[in-house]
Chains A and B, each alone.
Chain A
Amino acid sequence: MLEYGKTKLLQGNEACVYGALYAGVQFFAGYPITPSTEIAEGMARILPHIGGKFIQMEDEIGSIAAIIGASNAGCKSMTATSGPGYSLMQENIGYAYMTETPCVIIDVQRGGPSTGLPTKIAQADMMQARWGTHGDYNAIALAPSSAKECFTETVRAFNLSERFRTPVTVLTDEVLGHMREIMTIPEEGELKVHKRQKPDVPPDWYRHFEITPSLVSPMAAFGEGYRYNISGLTHDPDGFPTAVPSEIKAKLEKLHHKIDNYLDEITSFRTEMMDDAHVAVFSYGTVARASYQAVKMAREKRIKVGAIQPFTIWPIDEARIKSMLDGVKKVIVAELNMGQLFYEIQRVAPKSTEVFHLGRYDGEVMTPLQILQKIREVL
């Protein structure tokens, strides 16, 4: 059960469960996979006692399909998986983007490709979280780095998902999922919990995909008396397939701009010691913690280095990253892969900032010493 205000020792995976409960999750469908299984276990244990539903599906394709259905029936819905399952889900995740169905997917990253390294850490699904399914769309992905952040970012994932009617991915990793950390469950009302916007028009006027000034359409659930059609085919505001160029264009622009227009609401960063930094370490998830440690050690040696950690991996907030790197001569992008976030930072960094990559891809966590060594190398 969720005990507000209580201090607990929680695994990252357990903290995701409690975060989801805090956000009001009502439906979980999943298929167990290491290193995410504790999320399904926690949901199976708790949801039935609070009037929610847990269902173990036949596979990950069924799991994502089930949560899309449940969300359209009005439930806050979630699944959790790791790389191989996330790959299987991609087709239906595209369906969720197209049908603008809120849902939360937690990907506890492990090494890949394919079944890869079930029990070892990687951060190689970052690009998949943006481009995993085919077609033109926009994506939101969040990345916590502690048990506490697993909690708060899962709450935020639900909020953003319901707010913008879109799937949201939370990218954690094997080490974060399994490590236990002390955290205090926030009090009820301490964190904002967003409720899906319902239509306030008579059923006859309701259009499920109406292009509103905000670009986010109010959403009626199945069975609430509003008639509508949903389809993976490109559709008009009523949800019926369209081949009209202006309607096609409007739909795709809606998918993009309903996110891009609200970067301030969506993106979130933490910075340490950046005020006078000549060198910055840019990293997320478990690696960000090694970066803070490395920065602290470097500062003791009077090296002017700072750290930037994005909690929002997607969308990339170009303007904000540019301004954070303004005056920084060198930035090291540290990640557990052979180069993903690196290319994004290279794309958006100011011309005067040199971008370096520090990758690790042997199933182990990046250490502070490794980062410290790289800092010395680029100085």
Chain B
Amino acid sequence: MTTRAASKSMGKKDGSEKPEDRYEIRLSGSGGQGLILAGVILAEALGIGDGKNVVQTQSYGPEARGGASRADLVVADGEIYYPKTMKLDLLLALTQEACDKYYPDLKEGGTLIVDSTMVTQVPTKNYYGLPFMQLAREEVGIVMVANVVSLGAISELTGIVTRDSIRNAVLARAPRGTEEKNKKALELGIEAAKKLLKEKR
């Protein structure tokens, strides 16, 4: 699979044994931030909207409540054999704990996106930082939509998912009455990422 992130590689490639035809994503943070739902939305956008093969897994059990929480996705054009992630292409970390815990699973040159107010010690210089929680709270009025803000940013920063597909997937999962807020959250993420990319240039 080629994506904007993969083709514009942010570093040198490592010699890991991960097959090249898989794109692996981890959305991480703490329990209650809606990361599993974000994983489901992204999987539906990729699978139903963009016609890719997708497998979504998560840590399951008491340890998944509170503490570091995550949703994993494997995306491919062809059949996905091994359903779990092997070496991440993209890591989203909304908390310092999640960033510390999962950064070692990111491949060299992989894309790291963090919440810039929550993750103050980033283990690399090659990363994108945006204040997802703050944007959600201040611009939309509910911190709960930080997951959707980050999906908007992911779509803009990586190009892994088409804009239409992510929009449709967010709306399909938004509880009745929250469609406008979710739409706004997604656009907010897209715009913030656009600005960030401009600054980086």
Contacts and interface: CB of A to CB of B under 8 A. Distances in A.
Chain B interface residue count: which class? Answer: 20 to 34
A179 B81 contact: no
B54 interface: yes
27 contacts: A9-B54, A9-B56, A35-B60, A118-B61, A120-B61, A174-B60, A179-B55, A179-B56, A180-B40, A182-B47, A182-B48, A182-B53, A182-B54, A289-B81, A289-B82, A289-B83, A290-B82, A292-B82, A293-B19, A296-B19, A296-B81, A297-B19, A365-B84, A367-B82, A367-B84, A367-B86, A372-B17
Contacts of B61: 118-120
A370 to B, nearest CB: 11
A293 B82 contact: yes
Nearest to B46: A182
Given A9-B54, A296-B19, A296-B81, A178 B60 contact: yes
A297 to B, nearest CB: 6
Most A CB atoms within 10 A — which of B40, B83, B84?
Answer: B83
Contact of B43 (A178, A182, A286, A368): A182
Contact of B81 (A181, A290, A365, A369): A290
Given A35-B60, A180-B43, A182-B54, A7 B82 contact: no
A8 interface: yes
B17 A181 contact: no
Interface of B: 17, 19, 40, 43-44, 47-48, 52-58, 60-62, 80-84, 86
Nearest to A177: B60
Contacts of A292: 81-82
Contacts of A119: 60-62
Contacts of B56: 9, 179-181
Contacts of A372: 17
A181 B55 contact: yes
Interface of A: 7-9, 35, 118-120, 174-175, 178-182, 286, 289-290, 292-293, 296-297, 365, 367-369, 372
Contacts of A7: 47-48
In the A-B complex, the 4 residue pairs with the smallest Cβ-Cβ separation, listed nearest first, are A119-B61, A182-B47, A293-B82, A293-B81
A175 B83 CA distance: 9
A180 B55 CA distance: 6
A44 B83 CA distance: 28
A365 B84 CA distance: 9
Most B CB atoms within 10 A — which of A174, A178, A179, A365?
Answer: A179
A181 B84 contact: no
B44 to A, nearest CB: 5
A8 B44 CA distance: 8
Given A178-B60, A182-B47, A289-B80, 9 more contacts: A9-B43, A179-B56, A180-B54, A181-B56, A182-B54, A292-B82, A293-B81, A297-B17, A369-B86
Contacts of A368: 81-82, 86
A9 B48 contact: yes
A372 B86 CA distance: 14
Contacts of B53: 182
A178 B48 CA distance: 19
Contacts of A179: 55-57, 83
A175 B40 CA distance: 16
